[in-house]
């Protein structure tokens, strides 16, 4: 465990506490909560004393049925004899389930950089070798580089779209190519779709598991945390090939026994309201996104800002000799604004910063991004 990177969030939080009044543009959550239907479903949960006991390891039937309908309608993924749904305690647990079910200690898993730090941490905990393949200047996967990284010890390739931390949305063509690489190499494609509803500028979300030939080697991870404002309720789900079901069930039964049943009832209520709830809420986030994008234009001399057509992040490269941790600390201490350092996402060379803009009100984000822009100008301009 000493080899596992320490989460940077507590470090940044300590800096924020030392500088009262800091506005945090670091947290990757939305500023709204679950729909009314989720709250109402809890009454149904409380009405039956049997709900206080353990339930099926892979999820209660009512929620699995709701997920199955959603997958068919929104993702073109149809559940039959070849695929199974497993309800998890959030998307991170789905990833741990996936890795422990397909890889043994010492085997390799390919991550694309910048990667989601909890994915890299999970691989370290599982004693797997993390093989990092850089993306291009706009943070899009380079399939040739991925193909060259595959060895006889590779067990899986991990992709995230829409992406955390970059906001990039991978094209259907690129995701098909990655999926075909996995098929041809006899390995798994683990695809994280936690931000599936958060797409902008005409971008389209694509689920690789929707293809008929993809089911034997594709593991799809989903979450209610972002779109439904469900972060603390810890409900996600995974779609896996049938042959992995027994392994995943063993893992989940050992770690969790079953996902929190009260949260599963709330998830049923949320999913009955469907993606229309998310789309309505996303209108306000789109306005904040436009505001942040407009403010960031002032930094064109100081930063490289790649297109971000998904999630609620911008990932910047700052033209400075400072590393990302030092820059993050100075932005908090001197300018009262917090972001996430790129080093925690595997970007050790250069100063990369992640801005998250969905957790706060429009007025607070406007103040925060103003502080950020002024801070970068002063810190980099004075160097």
Q: What is the pLDDT of residue 212?
A: 87
46-93 pLDDT tens trace: 999 999 999 999 999 999 999 999 999 999 999 988 999 999 999 999
Q: Are 42 and 241 in contact (CB under 8 A)?
A: no
Single out the residue in 250, 273, 296 at which a domain terminates: 273
Check whether residue 62 and residue 152 sit in a common domain: yes
Check whether residue 314 and residue 330 sit in a common domain: yes
Check whether residue 16 and residue 114 sit in a common domain: no
Q: What is the pLDDT of residue 3?
A: 87
Distance between CA 123 and CA 129 in Å, rounded? 7
8-60 pLDDT tens trace: 888 899 999 999 999 999 989 999 999 999 999 999 999 999 999 999 999 99
Q: What is the pLDDT of residue 268?
A: 97
Extract the tokens encoding 351: 């100063």
Is residue 197 situated within a structural domain?
yes
338-353 pLDDT tens trace: 999 999 999 999 999 9
Q: What is the pLDDT of residue 158?
A: 98
Q: What is the pLDDT of residue 80?
A: 86
If one counts every other C-beta atom within 10 angstroms of the C-beta of residue 383, the result is: 9
Check whether residue 23 and residue 127 sit in a common domain: no
Check whether residue 187 and residue 88 sit in a common domain: yes
pLDDT at 382 exceeding the cut of 80: no
Check whether residue 243 and residue 296 sit in a common domain: no
Check whether residue 175 and residue 105 sit in a common domain: yes
Extract the tokens encoding 291: 């505001």
- CATH number of the domain where residue 281 is located: 3.90.1150.10
| DSSP state at residue 6 | P
Q: What is the pLDDT of residue 142?
A: 97
Distance between CA 313 and CA 296 in Å, rounded? 12
Q: Which of 79, 358, 128, 53 is nearest to 237 (CA)?
A: 79
Q: What is the pLDDT of residue 383?
A: 60
Extract the tokens encoding 51: 């709900």
Q: What is the pTM of this model?
A: 0.95
Distance between CA 252 and CA 248 in Å, rounded? 6
Check whether residue 84 and residue 209 sit in a common domain: yes
Check whether residue 201 and residue 261 sit in a common domain: yes
Distance between CA 356 and CA 208 in Å, rounded? 26
Inter-helix orientation angle 275-296/261-273, to 10°: 80
Check whether residue 294 and residue 250 sit in a common domain: no
Is residue 123 situated within a structural domain?
yes
Q: How confident is the model at residue 6 (pLDDT cuts 50, 70, 90)?
A: confident
Distance between CA 84 and CA 64 in Å, rounded? 10
Task: Quote the number of domains for the chain.
Answer: 2
Q: What is the pLDDT of residue 138?
A: 95
Q: Locate tokens 């070849």: which residue?
A: 82
Q: What is the pLDDT of residue 351?
A: 97
Q: Are 25 and 339 in contact (CB under 8 A)?
A: yes
Distance between CA 342 and CA 154 in Å, rounded? 26
Distance between CA 12 and CA 338 in Å, rounded? 8
Q: Locate tokens 């995943």: which residue?
A: 248
Note down the domain range covering 81.
Answer: 36-273
Check whether residue 226 and residue 345 sit in a common domain: no
Inter-helix orientation angle 324-335/362-381, to 10°: 110
Please give the mean pLDDT across all residues of the chain: 95
132-187 pLDDT tens trace: 999 999 999 999 999 999 999 999 999 999 999 999 999 999 999 999 999 999 99
């Amino acid at each position: 465990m000493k080899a596992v990177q320490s989460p940077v969030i507590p470090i940044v939080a300590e800096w924020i506490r030392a500088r009262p009044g800091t506005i945090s543009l670091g947290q990757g959550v939305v500023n709204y909560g679950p729909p009314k239907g989720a709250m109402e479903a809890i009454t149904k949960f409380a009405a039956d004393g049997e709900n206080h006991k353990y339930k099926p390891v892979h999820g209660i039937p009512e929620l699995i049925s709701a997920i199955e309908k959603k997958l068919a309608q929104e993702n073109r993924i149809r559940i039959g004899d070849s695929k199974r749904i497993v309800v998890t305690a959030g998307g991170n647990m789905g990833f741990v389930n996936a890795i422990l079910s397909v890889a043994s200690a010492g085997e390799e898993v390919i991550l694309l950089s910048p990667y989601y730090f909890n994915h890299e941490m999970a691989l370290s905990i599982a004693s797997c070798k993390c093989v990092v393949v850089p993306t291009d200047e706009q943070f899009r996967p380079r399939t040739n580089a991925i193909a060259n990284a595959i060895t006889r010890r590779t067990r899986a390739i991990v992709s995230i779209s829409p992406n955390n931390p970059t906001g990039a949305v991978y094209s259907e063509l690129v995701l098909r190519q990655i999926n075909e690489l996995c098929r041809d190499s006899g390995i798994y494609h683990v695809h994280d779709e936690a931000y599936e509803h958060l797409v902008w500028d005409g971008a389209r979300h694509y689920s690789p598991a929707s293809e008929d030939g993809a089911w034997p080697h594709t593991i799809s991870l989903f979450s209610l945390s972002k779109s439904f404002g469900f972060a603390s309720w810890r409900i996600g789900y995974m779609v896996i090939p049938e042959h992995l079901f027994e392994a995943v069930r063993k893992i989940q039964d050992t770690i969790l026994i079953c996902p929190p049943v009260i949260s599963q009832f709330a998830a049923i209520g949320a999913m009955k309201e469907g993606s229309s709830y998310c789309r309505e809420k996303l209108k306000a986030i789109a306005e904040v996104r436009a505001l942040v994008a407009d403010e960031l234009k002032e930094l064109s001399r100081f930063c490289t800002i790649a297109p971000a057509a998904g999630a609620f992040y911008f990932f910047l490269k700052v033209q400075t000799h400072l590393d990302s941790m030092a820059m993050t600390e100075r932005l908090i201490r001197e300018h009262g604004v917090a972001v996430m350092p790129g080093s925690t996402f595997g970007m050790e060379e250069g100063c990369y910063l992640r801005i998250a803009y969905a957790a706060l009100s429009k007025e607070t984000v406007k103040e925060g991004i103003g502080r950020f822009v002024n801070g970068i100008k002063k810190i980099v301009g004075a160097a």
